[in-house]
């Protein structure tokens, strides 16, 4: 069955859909070397150049890009970016009972999903840690890390596009062949890492040309975006993961219970599960 044209179903003009995709990519630091030209973007999104030009104009008006003759289009860091990163570190460093509840169940479920799906390894190489990767894994900028990208599929088709970063010292014993056979958490445990828990964030993203191709959806389609930081029993980060999931094939469920008296406003998770089909 052909993919549903989710982008066309959105009550948004084409230029605004392109604007949203490019804004997300800018936030992820995709265009450190500059944005593609108008013609390349028009071919990527299969639209006229005037549509791309309008999307770029909106990004420029918001101060996210700068268009200079002879230099092309370059990204500009949004105002308050440094402050935002600082807040993120503080939030990630604070571990409460509620945020870590039932992490064992979550990690077991992740491994189960890995064993029950097929995987295609797109990339596996040692690279220099970018500032974002270094910050997450508590490494120096430029430190060697293993970067791997994989597509997981069920019998229904592609399910997720996963990018992981692992300190090179921990990933020395496995590579492309091993990643195609076993979930990375099992490989880490076999390497002597004692998995302690994780911090996970779930949000939404719009599919760009690359993720749309791998997941069998149209550019601009809505995807579930998962960011997960795995740490060992000593609190040391051992894996940083970014995943894009098709929402029609993956769902995430939490069972909550209220803590305290009948007037209590605090809820904690009793179990965490992920279902896919």
What's the N-to-C CA distance of the chain in angstroms? Answer: 15
Question: Alpha carbon of 3 to those of 6, 157, 164, 217, 269: distances in Å?
Answer: 8, 11, 27, 5, 34
pLDDT at 138 (0 to 100)? 95
What does pLDDT average to over the chain? 77
pLDDT, greater one: 113 or 146: 146
Average pLDDT over residues 136-158: 93
- Model pLDDT for residues 184-215, shown as the tens digit of each residue: 888 898 889 988 888 888 888 889 888 999 99
- Model pLDDT for residues 71-92, shown as the tens digit of each residue: 788 888 655 444 443 333 333 3
User: What's the pLDDT band for 61 if we cut at 50, 70, 90?
Assistant: confident
User: What's the pLDDT band for 170 if we cut at 50, 70, 90?
Assistant: very high
Does residue 263 surpass a pLDDT of 80?
no
pLDDT at 97 (0 to 100)? 34
Does residue 116 surpass a pLDDT of 60?
yes
User: In whole angstroms, what is the distance from residue 249 CA to residue 211 CA?
Assistant: 15
- Model pLDDT for residues 28-54, shown as the tens digit of each residue: 778 877 888 889 898 888 889 998 998
Cβ contact 165:138 at 8 Å? no
Average pLDDT over residues 171-191: 90
Closest CA to 153 of 226, 214, 211, 112: 214
Closest CA to 73 of 89, 47, 53: 53
Cβ contact 56:38 at 8 Å? yes
Does residue 270 surpass a pLDDT of 60?
no
Cβ contact 85:135 at 8 Å? yes
Does residue 7 surpass a pLDDT of 60?
no
User: In whole angstroms, what is the distance from residue 256 CA to residue 260 CA?
Assistant: 13
User: Range with the lowest mean pLDDT among 55-69, 109-123, 188-202?
Assistant: 109-123
pLDDT, greater one: 164 or 275: 164
- Model pLDDT for residues 232-259, shown as the tens digit of each residue: 999 999 999 999 999 888 777 666 666 6
Average pLDDT over residues 143-162: 92
User: What's the pLDDT band for 148 if we cut at 50, 70, 90?
Assistant: very high
Please report the domains of the chain, with CATH numbers, ordered by start residue.
6-75 (1.10.10.10), 93-276 (3.40.1410.10)
């Amino acid at each position: 069955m052909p993919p549903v044209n989710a982008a066309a179903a959105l009550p948004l003009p084409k230029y605004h859909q392109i604007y949203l995709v490019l804004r997300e990519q800018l936030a992820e630091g995709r265009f450190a070397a500059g944005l593609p030209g108008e013609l390349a973007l028009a071919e990527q999104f299969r639209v006229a150049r005037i549509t791309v030009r309008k999307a770029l104009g909106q990004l420029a008006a918001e101060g996210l890009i700068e268009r200079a003759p002879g230099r092309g289009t370059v990204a500009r860091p949004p105002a308050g970016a440094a402050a935002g990163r600082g807040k993120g570190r503080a939030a990630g460093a604070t571990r409460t009972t509620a945020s870590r509840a039932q992490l064992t169940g979550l990690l077991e479920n992740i491994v189960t999903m890995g064993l029950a799906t097929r995987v295609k390894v797109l990339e596996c190489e040692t690279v220099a840690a970018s500032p974002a990767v270094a910050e997450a894994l508590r490494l120096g900028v430029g430190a060697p890390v293993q970067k791997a990208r994989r597509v997981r599929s069920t019998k229904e088709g592609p399910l997720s596009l996963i990018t992981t970063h692992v300190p090179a010292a921990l990933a020395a014993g496995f590579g492309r062949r091993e990643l195609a056979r076993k979930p990375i958490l099992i490989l880490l445990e076999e390497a002597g890492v004692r998995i302690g828990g994780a911090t996970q964030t779930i949000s939404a993203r719009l599919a760009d040309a690359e993720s749309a191709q791998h997941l069998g959806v149209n550019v601009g389609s809505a995807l579930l975006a998962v960011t997960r930081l795995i740490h060992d029993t000593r609190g040391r980060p051992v894996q940083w993961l970014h995943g894009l999931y098709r929402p029609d094939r993956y769902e995430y469920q939490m069972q909550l219970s209220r803590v305290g008296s009948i007037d209590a406003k605090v809820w904690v998770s009793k179990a965490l599960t992920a279902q896919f089909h």
